[in-house]
Amino acid sequence: MSKEKDDNYWRERLTDEEFRVCREAGTERPFSGEYWDCFEDGTYRCRCCGELLFHSDSKFDAGCGWPSFDTAAHSSAVEERPDNSLGMRRTEILCANCGSHLGHVFPDGPTETGLRYCVNSLSVRLHPESEEEEGS
């Protein structure tokens, strides 16, 4: 899928709130998203294009109110870019396939990777392990 899709393309496929987060780099309120406290087995895929981004076994409770992962599903799943908005220095993470805003990555994770991929629930969809097995 191309990163060149225009806003009209995405507005037809996403809710207003999904569009704000995914295409305008918005952030959902902490502890409000559907996956912040979900620990079901499966894969997390981009809400916009369906690309595999994270596996549930890399998810942990960071206490921040957003889904947090210590590693991406594969090295080319997530793109990083500097984000100096709001007077902060952060690293934005995006779906490498379609450019959808996912959240930010921080170097304060509790596992051996030392990373915390802090992701908006609205930017991903959980595909439970049972669905993944059926689709094989």
CATH number at residue 82: 2.170.150.20
Structurally, the chain folds into a number of domains equal to 1
Q: pLDDT tens, 61-106?
A: 999 999 999 999 999 999 999 999 888 899 999 999 999 999 999 9
Instruction: Decide if 1 is inside a domain.
Output: no
Element (H, E) at 130: helix 129-134
What is the SS3 assignment for 48?
A: coil
Q: Which residues are catalytic?
A: 118
Domain boundaries, position 115: 7-134
Element (H, E) at 133: helix 129-134
Taking the C-alpha atoms of residue 100 and residue 2, their distance in angstroms, rounded to an integer, is 11
Q: pLDDT tens, 71-82?
A: 999 999 999 999
**48 annotated as ligand-binding:** no
pTM of the model: 0.91
Taking the C-alpha atoms of residue 52 and residue 23, their distance in angstroms, rounded to an integer, is 18
Q: Concatenated DSSP letters for 1-21?
A: --TT--HHHHHHHS-HHHHHH
**22 annotated as ligand-binding:** no
**95 annotated as ligand-binding:** yes
